[in-house]
Amino acid sequence: MTTWGYLGFQDSASPLMEQLIFFHDHVMVVIILIVTFVGYMMGSLFFNKYINRFLLENQNIEIVWTILPALILIFIALPSLRLLYLLDEVNNPSVTLKVVGHQWYWSYEYSDFIQVEFDSYMVPTNEMTESGFRLLDVDNRTVLPMDTQVRVLISAADVIHSWTVPALGVKVDAIPGRLNQVGFMINRPGLFYGQCSEICGANHSFMPIVVESVSVDFFLNWISSLAE
> Amino acid letter at 133?
F
Global confidence as pTM: 0.81
Q: Are 75 and 110 in a shared domain?
A: no
Does a structural domain hold residue 2? no
- For 46-73, the pLDDT digits (tens) are 888 887 777 777 888 889 889 999 999 9
User: Which runs of E-coded beta strand occur in 60-130?
Assistant: 95-102, 105-110, 116-120
User: Which runs of E-coded beta strand occur in the chain?
Assistant: 95-102, 105-110, 116-120, 142-145, 149-156, 161-165, 170-174, 180-185, 190-195, 208-214
* pLDDT above 80: residue 199: yes
All residues at 6 or more sequence positions from 119 whose CB lies less than 8 Å from its CB, including other chains: 102, 105, 106, 107, 108, 140
* Domain end (from 72, 88, 104): 88
**155 lies in which domain range?**
95-226
Compute the average pLDDT of residues 75-91. Answer: 88
- pLDDT attached to residue 228: 65
Mean pLDDT over the full length of the chain: 89
pLDDT > 90: percent of the chain: 56
- pLDDT attached to residue 32: 96
Closest CA to 173 of 100, 118, 87: 100
* Domain end (from 88, 117, 133): 88
- pLDDT attached to residue 101: 93
Of the listed ranges 179-183, 210-214, 220-224, the one predicted with least confidence: 220-224
Q: Are 111 and 221 in a shared domain?
A: yes
Sheet containing 190-195: order of strands: 142-145, 208-214, 190-195
- pLDDT attached to residue 1: 67
All residues at 6 or more sequence positions from 160 whose CB lies less than 8 Å from its CB, including other chains: 173, 174, 175, 176, 198, 200
Q: Are 165 and 200 in a shared domain?
A: yes
CATH of the domain at 47: 1.10.287.90
Q: Quick one: pLDDT band at residue 222, thresholds 50, 70, 90?
A: confident
CB 20 within 8 A of CB 169: yes
Please give the torsion angle defined by the CA atoms of residues 226, 171, 186 and 223, in that order, rounded to the nearest 10 degrees.
10
Does a structural domain hold residue 182? yes
* Domain end (from 57, 88, 119): 88
Q: Are 116 and 203 in a shared domain?
A: yes
How many independent structural domains does the chain possess? 2
Does a structural domain hold residue 173? yes
CB 138 within 8 A of CB 123: yes
Main-chain dihedrals φ then ψ at residue 147, nearest 5 degrees = 55, 35
> Amino acid letter at 204?
H
Of the listed ranges 81-85, 126-130, 165-169, 207-211, the one predicted with least confidence: 126-130
- For 128-165, the pLDDT digits (tens) are 888 888 888 998 899 999 999 999 999 999 899 999 99
CATH of the domain at 183: 2.60.40.420
Q: Are 159 and 216 in a shared domain?
A: yes
Does a structural domain hold residue 10? no
Q: Quick one: pLDDT band at residue 98, thresholds 50, 70, 90?
A: very high
CB 179 within 8 A of CB 96: no
Distance from CA of residue 122 to its chain's centroid?
A: 21
**Torsion sign (Cα): 78, 83, 84, 88:** positive
Compute the average pLDDT of residues 19-45. Answer: 92
